[in-house]
Structure 1
């Protein structure tokens, strides 16, 4: 099956990113688009950010997840395209290089679709030509961290749960003038204001993270489209009885970009055992 937007079994570990990276096993315009430097109510503006992305259609995306636990800090980066209406996307996710001059791993190809995440070049004993399929409903973080990249629309849907926010001022993101907002969202409230697979994922995240409160910085352009958002999550590392601090950043640009997502055939999906491994080990 292929989704297009024109110009306009499970994993043995609790979170691929944690295991791989840390060894953790009719509209009058958006409320924020006002003339001059006087945006509308920040909370209302941010709660509607996901809807404005759906109206925008599609975009290219860059993602970054920085994880810190104990003395280890790693960054996982992604790049690709995303269709907000169909909630589908394709990303290439690059893991950090292994230490001591070891060979780096090839990027992981990820397909994002409602309710599932497909990964190729997953490693951990999975043949290079096979895909791994993960049911995101069963992930304790709602796939906000697991794949090494936050689903771009999910990143905006977290903002549906904005509790308090302030307008910081004007700045620019990749040369585009934007308005900068800072605040805190509640994952439970975000889930209540979402529907379908988004609600299921956010509810899982609200229960799975160390806290349901998520501090953020968000940047919206003058058309109210989210250009950049940075969330700060925390989840419990059961193996080391500590908390992993996660900073997830999503950058959106080139709105209207073409998106084509073709799902792998059943014969190309790996159903064997997946070994635990770590690209970076703590000192």
Structure 2
């Protein structure tokens, strides 16, 4: 299989979120806030620990570990690309096992540039350590075949390529949190959460990532034009990440290309069954990329 990764150039929105969009060518108790911004409930630190362990950066940095303890969750995702005044959004929904780092997400592509549906079936994505599998990929891939991509070989480590940021990778990014401030309390789907805002350093996140995530995270740390990723994170009183939004920026010839990836987590503890496709079901041909765009990336 041939899968190529390119830097974004000019109006080429389809790249960055978009091996996927080949189509786009596609509580209870008293509450208060400490001076350091760590929210406390009933006189205890909301996420556990004390002192330096309760700084905003430390609280969000523990999000991946808290999710692993929770085991699994349902997820909703959206990925919005913007450049040259044009915005397109890819949406996904599925389940994820944070202990095994396996997930299944159904991805719905946006309408085409003219605002009409492109007729593409939803893409089923299977997420695994070091690998992304896609079915209904289009671009010349038979509907009954899966495309497998080595995420450690992607310039972005699959933070945006699949149109979905791997849920564990989204949480692991917060291990590199810096300059974090506590914004305040809010509510998500009836759950009280604490809102934090800061910047994640990709290099630091890769160094601190779990062994299963380290390869893809290290690739992202090398591949992005900027190692700083602004984020907003929302955690409940058990330290569970309920929502996170990352803002990625890509180098461009002309206006920069912005990608905003948002993930919502709920239904913690839901059963998750994910089976990787057998070798016989993997596509071994070339993925079509379309004609060369004079303002975009080179076609293979």
TM-score past 0.5 threshold: yes
Q: Distance in 2 between matches of 1:21 and 1:169?
A: 40
Q: Which residue of structure 2 lines up, in the alignment, with residue 249 of structure 1?
A: 262
**Structure 2 gap ranges (5+):** 7-14, 27-36, 47-53, 296-300
Q: Which residue of structure 2 lines up, in the alignment, with residue 272 of structure 1?
A: 285
Cα contact 2:2–2:287 (8 A) shared by 1: no
1:141 correspondence with 2:133: no
The 5 A counterparts of 1:61-210 are 61-98=75-112, 99=114, 101-210=116-225
1:231 correspondence with 2:246: yes
> Paired residues, what number?
267
- For the aligned residues, what is the CA RMSD? 2.7
Q: Distance in 2 between matches of 1:33 and 1:73?
A: 36
Q: Distance in 1 between matches of 2:199 and 2:140?
A: 40
Greater gyration radius:
2
Q: Distance in 2 between matches of 1:147 and 1:18?
A: 6
Q: Which residue of structure 2 lines up, in the alignment, with residue 35 of structure 1?
A: 41
Scaled by the length of structure 2, the TM-score of the pair is 0.82
- Give the alignment partner of residue 11 of structure 1, picking from 3, 18, 21: 3
Specify whether residues 102 and 151 from structure 1 end up closer, same or farther in structure 2 by C-alpha distance, changes over 3 A only. Answer: closer
Greater alpha carbon shift after TM alignment, 14-23 vs 79-88: 14-23
Q: State the SS of the aligned residue for 2:213.
A: helix
Q: Distance in 2 between matches of 1:114 and 1:144?
A: 13
Cα contact 1:66–1:75 (8 A) shared by 2: yes
Specify whether residues 43 and 16 from structure 1 end up closer, same or farther in structure 2 by C-alpha distance, changes over 3 A only. Answer: closer
Structure of greater relative contact order (alpha carbons < 8 Å, 6+ residues apart): 1
1:212 correspondence with 2:227: yes
Q: Which residue of structure 1 lines up, in the alignment, with residue 298 of structure 2?
A: none
Scaled by the length of structure 1, the TM-score of the pair is 0.87
Q: Distance in 2 between matches of 1:203 and 1:145?
A: 15
User: How far did residue 164 of structure 1 move?
Assistant: 1.4
Cα contact 2:104–2:125 (8 A) shared by 1: yes
Q: Distance in 1 between matches of 2:259 and 2:187?
A: 24
